[in-house]
Amino acid sequence: QNPNVCHACGHDGHAAMLIGIAKVLVELQSELIGTVRFLFQPSEERFPGGAMAMIADGALISVDSIIGTHLWQPLRVGTIGITYGPMMASPDEFTIKIKGKGGHAAMPHQTVDALLVGAQIAVALNTIVSRNVDPMEQAIISLGVFKAGDTFNIIPDTALLNGTVRSFNEKMRNTLFDRIEQVTKGLCQAAGATYTLEKYLGFSPVINNPDITAILAQAGAETLGKENVLTIHPVMGGEDYSHYLEKVPGAFMFVGVGNEEAGIIHPQHHPKYDIDERALAYGMEIMTRAALSLLK
């Protein structure tokens, strides 16, 4: 609809698959024991996400189980990716605002250098995971924004850091945010600066039900062959599908769309993102088979 504008994440493909699955199951409706509900959800990637609104509107009333999928470029077409537990992380956000005392760069002894304090905090935050998290667990603290000053010879009185925290359980989430607070407080106190720390808790982690994951795996094996059903490592991206899984047992899978030979190599959200459209038929068949199994 808009020239040179696209979402580049695969959601049009998801809608196409779901419409196709609905058409198939409508043709089989007289043979179905039970009811299938199709969820066309808006706003998957923007906090607070569309899942909560769907749930509030009754999307899960009388629902016994749920399955979902996402087209996934890192996997080659003709494969699917599953996990039997944690699948995707909670995508949280934080903002640190530092208040110091500005002044002329020729007289740093008269200042409390917010830029320098911010730089020290940035370095220290990147040691939290390596020194406070069990190496066998997964967690991330990443900074994406660091702003301070706008003139070469003026030491700024403020600095801002903005980043993300990714984890797979509430205990780890709390540990990471506690350490961010401790590190920031300690370095600001040492320098004579003050700070504020704002936390924005995102979606919960996606945790698959093992039994329903096994149904997806079986459907994938029947469609693509067992060797193309891949048990993958959890990914650190977030997905508000987790809200459904907090209410009813379910599972989420990735459907591979990558094809190096055809030049389909660019990741989600890249301006050259594309999919091998054979993946749509594979995803449709797998989800249809899984739905039929869940109805038995």
Q: What is the pLDDT of residues 85-134, one digit of tens each?
A: 999 999 999 999 999 999 999 999 999 999 999 999 999 999 999 999 99
- Select from 184, 192, 185, 186 the least CA-distant residue to 157: 192
**Partners of 245 in beta bridges:** none
Q: What is the pTM of this model?
A: 0.88
Residue-level length of the chain: 296
Q: How far apart are CA 113 and CA 192, in angstroms?
A: 9
The confidence score (pLDDT) of residue 225 equals: 98
263 burial type by CB count under 10 A (0-12 exposed, 13-18 middle, 19+ buried): exposed
- Look up the CATH number of domain 11-88+205-295: 3.40.630.10
- Select from 280, 215, 243 the least CA-distant residue to 63: 243
Secondary structure class of 112 (helix, strand, coil): strand
Low-confidence ranges of the chain (pLDDT < 70): 1, 45
The confidence score (pLDDT) of residue 81 equals: 98
95 burial type by CB count under 10 A (0-12 exposed, 13-18 middle, 19+ buried): middle
- Structural domain boundaries in the chain: 11-88+205-295, 90-200
Q: 90-200 adopts what CATH topology?
A: Alpha-Beta Plaits (3.30.70)
Tokens at 155, concatenated? 């030491």
DSSP 62: T
The confidence score (pLDDT) of residue 181 equals: 98
The confidence score (pLDDT) of residue 34 equals: 92
The confidence score (pLDDT) of residue 49 equals: 78
Tell me the one-letter amino acid at 214: A
- Select from 191, 174, 104 the least CA-distant residue to 133: 174
Q: Spell out the alpha helix ranges (H) of 192-257.
A: 210-224, 242-245
The confidence score (pLDDT) of residue 257 equals: 95
